[in-house]
Structure 1
């Protein structure tokens, strides 16, 4: 069949099938295509069911309006088996379907564009993403023996910070409630009276000098955040600091190289390589697989968000720790840091050490 014939038949007879076929041509995994297909076929069924949408609603995706799409999202919200975050993800699938079909000229408009403005997708819980239980992650951490590599992994998993934020940490950004000979930890005014804490600033930007050193990564926080350091993370960091080489930079990075680049600040690429190597050993990383299937430093942020949110039931505290909120919301958590954030975090954070 010629490309033109395929286009004419595919779009008119089965636009969802056409889209899924193009996903395959673009190299999307079978698992990802199956997830999209399941949601889009559900949308087709919804449209074809009399009385399911608003009066006068369309019966197929090509003719659907924003009201049809809103009715579908509303129907998803009423499904007791779907969490709010899963509903948002399903809506995102539909949005990407329409965006693509509009871009290739198969549809005239994207009716989901307006609907998406009303949804909050800042917390990523994509159901196609690999899901790892806390016990399984605990086994994974147990297999990371090098003090530096374990410190990198545990810090990411326990704090939910971005890999660039991890690399930008200096000794002044850490306080520990114990003496460490040879180290002058802390120094940040934001950490005064807050032992066993990390301060993740919003200032560092790639290519700019910060605390006397040009940075290779940017922090993306809306405002600086004080993150609790629990006993497990403190133990892991002490073990790392006991062997940490002298730093080449006067900024005194918290994490520096122990091989090539001895004593130099680690880069996001180096941290990603460490995570990739261990994830490959665990069967959690495959070259060519999608970002939702491979375990990377960003996956650890997803793990932190999902498990801590589910344990606390407090989306606000999790957003504060992730650095996703600003203004009066973050001021509330900053003011009540000791009574609210630290207490909530320490009561609910998962254990990662055997």
Structure 2
């Protein structure tokens, strides 16, 4: 009890130091800790400057409100790239989520902020408007089993390119496959498990990773028959991998058998999108089809079909703990049923 009390006293004085110390205990690299400290100290300085935060008073991170977080995001815009704003937001969200989980803070003021940021980005009305029938015709032209599996998996799950690259064989449960899967997939046949843990430059499941998963919480995504058949066709020709992690998607060209990277995923999508007239050199998000566009496509069409924003956010890995727990507990009854009833067909 004395130890816990002293740690609580420490967190009240310097919650950032408390968080960074726990990151050390969890094995995070010095580079990762330095990146978090730089962002969190900048936010801390913003809160301590009454002329900058909305309430006009000096605050600690533990006293910050949703409006304080929003004000800092607003201040960052125009001084750094939009992608940097998103990165800073993810760092701050993870800080608050962890401190709330361990009981040091009462709530996570960033939860709604990042949810709204994701919604704003992914519903950009200027993006190319592609119908399901048009996307089906696009997929029909992809014959290479790896390329087709990459594109169909992105379109059917809404996951990010980095999350797809980080999938291992143990993350995929199919009735026909006789292999050991994660315990989180017990009782959840024909499903994909997407972990929030892999981090670029760090070891995960025995392999150094080239991409990070930006998911807020672990997610179990159902596989319909179409996605299953696509993945099975890929597994039938998948090269043996030298990695003990047994990556799901491996290269069939240069670096035979190695885990694919986000650069490879982007290259594959750009190749077919360019051939189809959906990608122009120098074009922006409003006209070019990229792996992230597939996430937008998934979000838009599945949300329109289901009318259930919560389930779509669960599948994307965007929702806060209280909402995601609801869908986790009702995974078999609610998530799979809604997904299978509404997911579009591409092949």
TM-score, normalised by the number of residues in structure 2: 0.66
* Aligned residue number for residue 176 of structure 1: 174
Larger-Rg structure = 1
1:120 aligns to what SS in structure 2? helix
Equivalent residue for 1:325, pick from 276, 298, 319: 319
Equivalent residue for 1:347, pick from 332, 338, 341: 341
Q: Which runs of 5+ in 2 are unaligned?
A: 1-72, 79-111
Question: Residues 253-311 of structure 1, C-alpha deviation per residue, up to 9 Å, x if partnerless?
Answer: 00000011100000000010000000000100001011221100000000000000000
* Aligned residue number for residue 294 of structure 1: 288
Question: Residues 317-352 of structure 1, C-alpha deviation per residue, up to 9 Å, x if partnerless?
Answer: 000000001311111100000110000000000000
State the distance in 2 between where 1:254 and 1:242 align. 12
Question: Residues 133-184 of structure 1, C-alpha deviation per residue, up to 9 Å, x if partnerless?
Answer: 000000000000000000000000000000000000000000011146xxx2
1:150-161 alignment runs, 5 A limit? 150-161=148-159
Structure 1 residues 117, 305: CA separation in 2 closer, same or farther (over 3 Å shift)?
Answer: closer
* Aligned residue number for residue 41 of structure 2: none
- Displacement of 1:117 after TM fit? 7.2
Task: Count how many residue pairs are aligned between Structure 1 and Structure 2.
Answer: 239
* Aligned residue number for residue 335 of structure 1: 329
4+ residue segments displaced more than 3 Å: 116-119
1:1-354 alignment runs, 5 A limit? 120-123=116-119, 124-179=122-177, 184=179, 186-353=180-347
Question: Residues 65-88 of structure 1, C-alpha deviation per residue, up to 9 Å, x if partnerless?
Answer: xxxxxxxxxxxxxxxxxxxxxxxx
* Aligned residue number for residue 75 of structure 1: none
- Displacement of 1:128 after TM fit? 1.1
8 Å CA contact retained: 2:200, 2:210: yes
2:251 aligns to what SS in structure 1? coil
- Displacement of 1:249 after TM fit? 0.5
Q: Which runs of 5+ in 1 are unaligned?
A: 1-94, 101-115
State the distance in 1 between where 2:156 and 2:114 align. 31
The alignment's C-alpha RMSD in Å is 2.0
